């Protein structure tokens, strides 16, 4: 089968790989219809991380079931599905407590298991979720990142009527805008330095757009909130700069949830650090997208709200590409040669 395989830093190759085969009674083989590029894929491509040389990359996908093991009873041939790509060990202390996202041995397909940048991918049946009738493959390819965002919101204490600021309008931030509304936010502020991304944020439900390139975000937030700040601030840019600036957005007693990963040291100016203490902020980290019972409420809720249309990913998809365009696309992404938001690959549409 055709696939994108990672060999080294900035060395991803479009090539032939063996097709997956049924080996265990609960195996499910899925023909991949759409698969997205995650920010963690870009980071792993750029500087590596946990991976096996030559591993088929990718983990955000949707497709059709084409083969199942003898003990599979939750899906059948021809079902339209998505898959939770995350594996937990079930044996470490967090797993024993039911804190699956904190598993000490957490891993995903595309790292130590063959991933979904391929014509076919294999997962255990417990990882495979049928799609609602009205959720198409493009939308379902973003179930995993949406579940990541939902996981973070479930960690907060947001109440209906809250005001929420989302720092960074990449795919995670754009999903956070929508989850904030689902959780009852009356007003959502979208913050970025790219006006085109802010316009997408407006399209998916942001009430106020803030370009922080020239005026600090917290100064603009304070103008809109009469100096109070917001109830919840979501860091979704994954930048060392915004990871400090986010601390100045909440009101006294407010919350910050970190969803972005900066992949660099963070130097926090005194002003921003003092907001934690002086405003008695509640600081939350959020990791991955699974909870007990596996794969978790995050996944069921995402599929539900995609089905109702309250999660709309279509405005976020900036590029729809053939899988063989993968090496060029990753090179363009890290060298910022185009304006990307969310990229989807279609393995069936490989150019010949």
pLDDT value of position 352? 45
pLDDT value of position 64? 98
User: Long-range CB contacts (< 8 A, 24+ apart) of 220-229?
Assistant: 221/165, 221/189, 221/249, 224/189, 225/163, 225/251, 229/254, 229/279
Identify the structural domains of the chain with CATH numbers, from first to last: 2-142+313-349 (3.90.180.10), 148-285 (3.40.50.720)
pLDDT value of position 113? 94
pLDDT value of position 350? 59
Give 10-residue mean pLDDT values along the chain (352 residues). Answer: 94 97 98 95 79 92 98 98 98 98 96 96 98 98 98 98 98 98 98 97 98 97 98 96 97 97 91 98 97 98 98 97 96 86 88 48
pLDDT value of position 51? 73
Q: In whole angstroms, how far apart are CA 291 and each of 59, 108, 255, 266? A: 18, 15, 21, 29
Within 8 A by CB and 6+ apart from 288, the residues are: 86, 101, 106, 148, 151
pLDDT in tens, 60-114: 999 999 999 999 999 999 999 999 999 999 999 999 999 999 999 999 999 999 9
User: Measured between alpha carbons, how far is 81 from 312 in angstroms, rounded to an integer?
Assistant: 18
Phi, psi of 341 (to 5 degrees): -115, -75
**Residue whose structure tokens are 């995670």:** 172
pLDDT value of position 124? 98
DSSP 3-state of 224: helix
């Amino acid at each position: 089968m055709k696939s994108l395989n990672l060999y080294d830093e900035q060395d991803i190759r479009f090539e032939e790989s063996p097709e997956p085969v049924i080996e265990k009674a609960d195996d499910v083989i899925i023909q991949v219809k759409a698969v997205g590029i995650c920010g963690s894929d870009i980071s792993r491509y750029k500087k590596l991380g946990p991976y096996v040389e030559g591993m088929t990359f990718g983990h955000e996908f949707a497709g059709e079931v084409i083969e199942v093991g003898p003990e599979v009873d939750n899906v059948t041939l021809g079902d339209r599905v998505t898959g939770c790509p995350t594996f937990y060990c079930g044996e470490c202390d967090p797993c024993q407590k039911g804190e699956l996202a904190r598993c000490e041995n957490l891993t995903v397909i595309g790292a130590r298991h063959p991933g979904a940048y391929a014509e076919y991918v294999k997962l255990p049946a417990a990882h495979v979720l049928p799609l609602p009738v009205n959720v198409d493959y493009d939308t379902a390819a973003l179930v995993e990142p949406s579940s990541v965002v939902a996981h973070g919101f479930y960690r907060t204490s947001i109440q209906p009527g809250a005001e929420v600021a989302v720092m960074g309008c990449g795919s995670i931030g754009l999903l956070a805008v929508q989850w904030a509304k689902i959780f009852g936010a009356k007003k959502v502020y979208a913050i970025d330095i790219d006006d085109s991304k802010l316009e997408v944020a407006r399209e998916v439900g942001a009430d106020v757009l803030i370009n922080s390139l020239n005026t600090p975000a917290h100064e603009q937030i304070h103008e809109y909130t009469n100096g109070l700040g917001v109830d919840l601030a979501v860091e979704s840019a994954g930048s060392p700069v915004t990871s400090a600036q986010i601390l100045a957005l909440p009101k006294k007693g407010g919350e910050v949830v970190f969803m972005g990963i900066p992949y660099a040291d963070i130097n926090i100016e005194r002003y921003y650090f003092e907001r934690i203490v002086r405003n008695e902020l509640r600081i939350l980290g959020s990791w991955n997208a699974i909870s007990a019972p596996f794969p978790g409420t995050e996944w069921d809720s995402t599929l539900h709200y995609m089905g109702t249309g309250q999660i709309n990913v279509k405005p976020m998809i900036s590029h729809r590409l053939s899988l063989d365009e993968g090496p060029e696309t990753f090179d363009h992404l890290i060298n910022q040669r185009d304006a990307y938001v969310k990229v989807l690959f279609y393995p069936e549409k490989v150019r010949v």
